[in-house]
Amino acid sequence: MTTEPMVNGPCWVELGAQDTAREGDFYAQVFGWDLATDPRPEAGGYTIASLGGRRVAAVTPLYGEDQPVAWNVSFRVADVDTALETVRDAGGSVLFGPLDVFEEGRFAVAVDPTGAAFQLWQPRDFTGAEAMGEPGTLCWVDLHTRDVDAASAFYSRLFGWDLAEGSGYRVLSLDGTGFGGVFDQEGDEGYPQDIPPHWIPYFATTDVEGTVAAANKAGGTTVMGPMVLGGFTIAAIVDPEGAGFQLLEVPDGS
């Protein structure tokens, strides 16, 4: 499980939204996040979500007409420009950037060969989420793709990830630490064909059923679960604007 930003691992998540205030209020009700919008005009309405004073995620306006409402996963790299060279060499493409984000770091958006978009982050002052693996924070990420072999080869070359053997759902790890998985869209006959390959975040909770109830009350929709899968209790939610995310139950550490 992801508990801190790792080089070549997930480090941050951002929600691209049409109405950032409404979406921020939804997640505040579900996870207890505090939202603060960067007042600088150059920040473009970037809003930081914090939990207990620690930055855990962001909500941003949509910056392009073709940008979908969705959660976007960022992976930490030592050098964005070098990583983008590997992206291109491995069959991916660059969608945006690279560019410097104030003194915080360097950023780019790329697309893997199967069509899933992801973000790259080279930290300077900001290394990534200040809490992970705790209730209300990012704890796991999944790639949904129609070509597991192509995705595996691409990300292994780019980040050095290991992909567990098997079919259907395969766990991703980095230096022996599991942080996510790959779900085979083609292997699920019921998977909607109109949903393109994508990355999706999991947020930790000590009570999946209670968090699902809070999400439904706040205007979200449950699309899966709660259910026990592989020994873990999970659920899938769609927020009021249609962005999907998942819940993963973790032990209550109190």
> What's the pLDDT score for residue 254?
46
Same domain, yes or no: 143 and 180: yes
- Weakest-pLDDT range from 75-89, 95-109, 121-135, 186-200: 186-200
Question: Residue 129 domain-assigned?
Answer: no
Last residue of a domain, one of 97, 123, 149: 123
Same domain, yes or no: 226 and 154: yes
Same domain, yes or no: 67 and 166: no
Percentage, residues of the chain above pLDDT 70 = 99
pLDDT at 66 over 90: no
Last residue of a domain, one of 123, 149, 174: 123
> What's the pLDDT score for residue 120?
98
Q: What is the CATH number of the domain that holds 180?
A: 3.10.180.10
Same domain, yes or no: 113 and 186: no
Same domain, yes or no: 145 and 220: yes
Give the DSSP letter string of the chain: ---S--BTSEEEEEEEESSHHHHHHHHHHHH--EEEE---GGGTT-EEEEETTEEEEEEEE--STTPPSEEEEEEE-S-HHHHHHHHHHTT-EEEEEEEEETTTEEEEEEE-TTS-EEEEEEESS--S-S--SSTTSEEEEEEEES-HHHHHHHHHHHH--EE-SSSSEEEEEETTEEEEEEEESTT-TTS-TTSPPEEEEEEEES-HHHHHHHHHHTT-EEEEEEEEETTEEEEEEE-TTS-EEEEEE-----
Same domain, yes or no: 110 and 145: no
Query: Structural domain tally of the chain?
Result: 2
239: left (phi over 0), alpha (psi -120 to 50) or beta: beta
Question: Residue 2 domain-assigned?
Answer: no
233-249 residue pLDDT tens: 999 999 999 999 999 99
Partners of residue 178 on adjacent β-strands: 173
Domain that holds residue 209: 138-249
Same domain, yes or no: 199 and 104: no
Q: Which residue has the tokens 């975040």?
A: 201
Nearest residue to 109 via CA among 142, 68, 150, 139: 68
Last residue of a domain, one of 90, 123, 156: 123
Global confidence as pTM: 0.95
Question: Residue 130 domain-assigned?
Answer: no
117-160 residue pLDDT tens: 999 999 999 999 999 999 999 999 999 999 999 999 999 999 99
Question: Residue 132 domain-assigned?
Answer: no
